[in-house]
Amino acid sequence: AQSVTQPDIHITVSEGASLELRCNYSYGATPYLFWYVQSPGQGLQLLLKYFSGDTLVQGIKGFEAEFKRSQSSFNLRKPSVHWSDAAEYFCAVGGQGGKLIFGQGTELSVKP
């Protein structure tokens, strides 16, 4: 069955430090992969997506993610975190009919 796992429920990093949020997926075919960010009380904003081609994907707000087929992973990274990055981050894989299968989410806190 298709699934997405985000192993870290909550991560705290210091402002200016690097960030990596983990995402592992289970999907039979070549996956469509997404990272979304959600601020409190808001909808989801697309950060980046992978469909095919270059496995290192650049997104908005300085984020990037790398697709590693051998590890079934699509980890999100940012070299220097800003206080405004504090939010909930969701990894998702595109399923049948365009549906999205979401991970449980990772809450990011940023220390000053």
Partner 1 sequence: GAVVSQHPSRVICKSGTSVKIECRSLDFQATTMFWYRQFPKQSLMLMATSNEGSKATYEQGVEKDKFLINHASLTLSTLTVTSAHPEDSSFYICSVKGGAQYQETQYFGPGTRLLVL
Q: How far is the CB of 16 from partner 1 (least distance, A)?
A: 27
53 binds partner 1 (CB under 8 A): no
DSSP codes of every residue in the chain: --EEE---SEEEEETTS-EEE--EEE-SSSPEEEEEEE-TT--EEEEEEE-SS-SEEE-GGG-EEEEEGGGTEEEEEESS--GGG-EEEEEEEE-GGG-EEE---EEEEEE-
30 binds partner 1 (CB under 8 A): no
Using the minimum distance from each CB to partner 1, give the nearer residue, 27 or 102: 102
94 binds partner 1 (CB under 8 A): yes
Using the minimum distance from each CB to partner 1, give the nearer residue, 25 or 90: 90
Residue from 11, 32, 64, 72 in contact with partner 1 (CB under 8 A):
32
By the criterion CB under 8 A, which residues form the site for partner 1? 32, 34, 36, 41-46, 49, 51, 90, 94, 97-100, 102-105, 107
